[in-house]
């Protein structure tokens, strides 16, 4: 069982950095709205663990932000791994145990978290109790709508999901009453009763209605007793189980001395001859002493103020020694402003208009044009963030020059020239050439990057990698040249590889060279070509100089980033071929008849 020392409210009043497992838009947005209304300068949710997207759009105030989505906790950037101290698990009941294990294994500074799902198997709930106790982490749930510390943290749907609900519940101002409830719905009712009494919350917690809650009522009461701002406790319990007898014992022993206002639901069960099962897993009185009436009597005898009806709680709250909190500030309509938000049609992380001036990656375009090289701007825009290393900048500059044109013989140039001679305009001619780029022309850099990445990340030996490709009857992208051979190497490749000389690891370049040593023995022209060299060196520079993880490199491959440099550079050459044809003005191009061979194919046998 988690200890009361682990569930320390003071640790919730720090700087929350939350990771959310699963996506539940209204809950996550409510947490961000709470952050904004509480005056935080940055959102508490740093990442979402999920699949299908790279990011999700939310509002922070009236500004749309992108929350990154990663496939596992281990895929979080190193800084986020160290920062995260809380989690909200929104995954299904059957996945809670495995997903929580991953969180506990990957996040070294976790303090605690909330499990939202109902129906966590009881055996797994007991495993979670033991696991969190060993890790020194507290956990609330399952079937919990969360916890909230006014002005500090909102972890879950607790208190409502609309900005106006958060404001009306007075969740932005710290107070003195702790609300503890086994029911998610009733915790919100208690919060509103506290606000209606003129008092403010010190914190509120929905324990969850499962048979084996990960944080028991007893632990929550001890945490309230140990919390200096908390002066009183409001509690909602139910029939079934023996939790309330443990609470009565704490009151009798003096372990809890703060005033307790409570209501135990379920006296209607006495009307049934057979004990009924209510909504929550443990809400059934199998014995007389588990009935709501017996529990009320035990708590009253121990000194708690017990309400006979739920409405009576409002009267008991009014009698608490602490007086009403301050009145809300006049004309405060921040929550109302948040409810009129509308999402934008597109999101862009690379450029925007700021007061009539264009900004690239948050910097003034004119300033960048005056201070930065074209290669730096290109690499930064393509990556979506400023390049940090001079080595990557120099490499991109060299590649842009190297790839600018490869003569009028290649398919892209031919298509551009034919289109130009047909009298079409610049954009049409350029598009005709660019549309030729693919796996057989210009698209091999990305394929080579994918091959080197696969081999290195999977820790394959170069020999095994080559044999595996051969067994699958696949060409190795980045290997092979129609002109150069092992005894007459391509000078461009030699120059490209020099950019990796200063790198200490050279995982990808080393792997590509080792593959070449094997393939060149099979055939002299199966050497590392320009595409393969660019891909290998670029992977190493991004890994070692820009601190890209293997997962981030895989994402760049999926985006086809590595072909972008070819497309950009070759667009210049194709444009030049268009202009050249317009200058020469040779008229419409038509193939001579002797340049087309008739292919007689008998389709009847096909």
The single-letter DSSP state of residue 509 is H
The single-letter DSSP state of residue 329 is P
Task: Please return the burial class of 135, using the count of CB atoms within 10 Å of its CB with bins 0-12, 13-18 and 19+.
Answer: middle
Q: Which helix (H) or strand (E) holds 332?
A: none
CA distances from 344 to 55, 59, 64, 348, 385 (A): 15, 11, 8, 10, 22
Given a contact cutoff of 8 angstroms between Cβ atoms, the answer to whether 527 and 519 are in contact is yes
Task: Please return the burial class of 323, using the count of CB atoms within 10 Å of its CB with bins 0-12, 13-18 and 19+.
Answer: exposed
CA atoms within 13 A on the CB side of 525: 5
Strands 138-140 and 63-70: unpaired
Given a contact cutoff of 8 angstroms between Cβ atoms, the answer to whether 201 and 175 are in contact is yes
Q: Cα(380)–Cα(389) distance, rounded to whole angstroms?
A: 11
Q: Cα(547)–Cα(562) distance, rounded to whole angstroms?
A: 17
Angle at 171 between CA 168 and CA 172, to 5 degrees: 105
Q: Cα(188)–Cα(193) distance, rounded to whole angstroms?
A: 9
Pick the closest to residue 9 from 226, 308, 177 (CA basis): 226
Q: Which of 280, 406, 481, 577 is catalytic?
A: 280
Task: Please return the burial class of 585, using the count of CB atoms within 10 Å of its CB with bins 0-12, 13-18 and 19+.
Answer: exposed
Q: In the beta sheet, which residues pair with residue 67?
A: 56
Task: Please return the burial class of 528, using the count of CB atoms within 10 Å of its CB with bins 0-12, 13-18 and 19+.
Answer: buried
Residues 6+ apart with CB under 8 A from 457: 550, 554
Q: Cα(214)–Cα(146) distance, rounded to whole angstroms?
A: 12
CA 352 to chain centroid? 23
Torsion of CA 399, 405, 407, 412, to 10 degrees: 110
Instruction: For residue 280, indicate whether it is catalytic.
Output: yes
Q: In the beta sheet, which residues pair with residue 357?
A: 354
Q: Cα(68)–Cα(84) distance, rounded to whole angstroms?
A: 14
CA distances from 576 to 306, 378, 382, 397, 415 (A): 86, 20, 23, 19, 13
Angle at 141 between CA 135 and CA 146, to 5 degrees: 105
**Number of neighbours of residue 17 by Cβ within 10 angstroms:** 21
Pick the closest to residue 43 from 63, 17, 62, 23 (CA basis): 17
SS3 85: coil
Q: Cα(70)–Cα(21) distance, rounded to whole angstroms?
A: 10
CA 490 to chain centroid? 43
Give the residue numbers annotated as catalytic, written as ranges.
280
């Amino acid at each position: 069982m988690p200890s009361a020392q682990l569930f320390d409210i003071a640790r919730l009043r720090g700087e929350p950095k939350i990771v959310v497992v699963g996506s539940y838009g209204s809950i996550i947005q409510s947490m961000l709205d709470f952050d904004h209304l509480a005056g935080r300068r940055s959102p508490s949710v740093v990442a979402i663990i999920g699949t299908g997207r790279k990011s999700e759009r939310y509002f922070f105030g009236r500004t749309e932000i992108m929350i990154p989505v990663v496939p596992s906790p281990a895929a979080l950037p190193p800084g986020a791994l160290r920062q995260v101290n809380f989690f909200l698990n929104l995954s299904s009941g059957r996945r809670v145990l495995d997903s929580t294990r991953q969180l506990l294994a990957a996040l070294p500074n976790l303090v605690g978290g909330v499990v939202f799902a109902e129906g966590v198997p009881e055996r797994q709930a007991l495993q979670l109790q033991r696991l969190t106790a060993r890790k020194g982490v507290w956990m609330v749930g399952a079937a919990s709508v969360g916890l909230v510390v006014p002005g500090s943290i909102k972890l879950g749907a607790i208190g409502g999901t609309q900005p106006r609900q958060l404001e009306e519940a007075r969740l932005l101002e710290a107070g003195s009453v702790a609300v503890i409830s086994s029911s998610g719905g009733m915790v919100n009712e208690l919060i509103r009763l506290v606000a209606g009494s003129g008092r403010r919350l010190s914190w509120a917690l929905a324990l969850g209605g499962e048979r084996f809650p990960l944080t028991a009522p007893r632990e929550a009461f001890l945490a309230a007793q140990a919390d200096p701002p908390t002066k009183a406790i409001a509690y909602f319990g139910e029939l079934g189980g023996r939790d309330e007898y443990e609470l009565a014992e704490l009151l009798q022993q003096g372990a809890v001395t703060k005033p307790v206002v409570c209501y135990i639901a379920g006296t209607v069960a006495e009307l049934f001859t057979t004990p009924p099962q209510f909504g929550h897993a443990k809400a059934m009185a199998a014995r007389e002493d588990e009935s709501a009436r017996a529990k009320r009597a035990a708590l009253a005898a121990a000194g708690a103020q017990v309400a006979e009806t739920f409405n009576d709680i409002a009267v008991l709250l009014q009698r608490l020694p602490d007086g009403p909190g301050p009145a809300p500030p006049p004309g405060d309509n921040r929550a109302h402003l948040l409810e009129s938000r509308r999402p934008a049609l597109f999101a862009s992380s690379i450029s925007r208009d700021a007061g009539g001036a264009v900004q690239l990656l948050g910097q003034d375009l004119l300033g960048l044009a005056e201070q930065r090289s074209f290669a730096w701007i290109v690499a930064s825009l393509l990556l979506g963030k400023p390049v940090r290393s001079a080595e990557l900048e120099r490499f991109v500059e060299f590649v842009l020059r190297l790839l600018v044109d490869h003569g009028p013989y290649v398919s892209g140039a031919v298509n551009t020239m034919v289109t130009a001679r047909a009298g079409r305009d610049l954009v049409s001619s350029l598009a005709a050439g660019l549309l030729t780029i693919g796996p057989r022309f210009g698209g091999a850099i990305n394929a080579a990057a994918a091959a080197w990445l696969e081999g290195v990340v999977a820790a394959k030996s170069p020999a095994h990698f080559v044999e595996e490709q051969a067994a699958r009857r696949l060409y190795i992208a980045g290997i092979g040249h129609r002109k150069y051979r092992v005894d007459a190497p391509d000078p461009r490749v030699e120059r490209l590889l020099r950019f990796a000389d200063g790198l200490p690891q050279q995982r990808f370049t080393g792997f590509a060279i080792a593959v070449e040593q094997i393939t060149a023995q099979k055939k002299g022209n199966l050497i590392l070509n320009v595409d393969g060299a660019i891909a290998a060196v670029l992977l190493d520079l991004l890994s070692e100089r820009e601190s890209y993880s293997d997962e981030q490199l895989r994402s760049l491959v999926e985006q086809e980033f590595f072909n972008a440099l070819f497309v950009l550079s070759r667009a210049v050459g194709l444009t030049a071929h268009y202009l050249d044809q317009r200058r020469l003005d040779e008229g419409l191009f038509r193939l001579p008849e002797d340049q087309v061979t008739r292919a007689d194919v008998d389709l009847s046998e096909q």
